[in-house]
Copies of this chain bind each other. A is one copy, B any other.
Amino acid sequence: MHGVNVSAVTDSLDWDHVEPPAARRLVQGAIDAFAERGFQATTTRDIASRAGMSPAALYVHYPSKERLLFEISLYGHNAALEILRSADTGGAPADRLRSLVAAFTAWHARHHTIAHVVQYELNALSPEHLAEVATIRRAISAQIEQVLTDGVQDGSFAVPDLPGTTLAVLSLSIDVARWYTPHRGDPDALGKLYADLAHRMVQA
């Protein structure tokens, strides 16, 4: 709060690719507002005032409120997928699963404002935008499922219901975005706990 260009709520996910700076301020204001009140309850006047400008200025940078949400949702989904992919460093399935779950969970805690928008504002997207985001979601799910499959194949995991268990593991991490607040503790510690729980769910 010392004049640094960081909003009160938005976390440190970098939006450097958003230009010009005024557009970036809009994105950050929108994330805070969407996470706080939900898309439908957020007004364009609210977003604009968080970015320090008049309501009309929003439309210089984005053609609609929905488009602003889409931009946020798309980038957020890509960031989440990227986190998962870079956490999959190879090795034994057990180690890979722990690494994936730890990273995915910690991401949802650390970036819980964006994660909240990503996970809970899907049905405010237009059908076309939802479809685009859904392909990323399938890739996220596939990343987890692959590790479980590998673990079953080499005998280190026992998973009677593969799709159901995949969904459960994802579910555990995703739900963090619903309840997490900073006073709930360190994101990395939570990641380790959840990695442990997920591993125990599947180990042979």
Which A residues are within 8 Å of any B CB, using their own CB?
A: 37-38, 40-41, 119-120, 123-124, 160-161, 164-165, 167-168, 171-172, 174-176, 178-179, 185, 190, 193-194, 196-197, 200-203
A189 to B96, CA, bound (A): 28
A202 to B196, CA, bound (A): 10
**CB atoms of B168 and A37 under 8 A apart:** no
Chain B residue numbers with a CB within 8 Å of A201 are 197, 200-201
**CB atoms of B164 and A175 under 8 A apart:** no
- A-B residue pairs in contact (CB < 8 Å), sample of 29: A37-B40, A37-B123, A38-B38, A38-B40, A38-B123, A40-B40, A41-B124, A120-B120, A120-B178, A161-B193, A164-B190, A164-B193, A165-B193, A165-B197, A167-B179, A168-B194, A168-B197, A171-B171, A171-B172, A171-B176, A171-B179, A172-B172, A174-B175, A174-B178, A175-B175, A175-B178, A197-B201, A200-B200, A200-B201
Chain B residue numbers with a CB within 8 Å of A168 are 172, 193-194, 197
Report the copy number of this chain in the oligomer: 2
**CB atoms of A175 and B179 under 8 A apart:** no
Chain B residue numbers with a CB within 8 Å of A190 are 164
Chain B residue numbers with a CB within 8 Å of A196 are 160
A196 to B193, CA, bound (A): 19
A74 to B153, CA, bound (A): 47
Apart from A161-B193, A164-B193, A167-B179, what 20 extra A-B contacts exist at CB < 8 Å? A37-B40, A38-B38, A40-B40, A40-B41, A119-B178, A160-B193, A160-B196, A164-B185, A164-B190, A165-B193, A168-B172, A168-B193, A171-B176, A171-B178, A171-B179, A172-B175, A174-B178, A197-B201, A200-B202, A200-B203
A78 to B139, CA, bound (A): 38
A171 to B167, CA, bound (A): 13
CB proximity of A148 to chain B, nearest CB, Å: 12
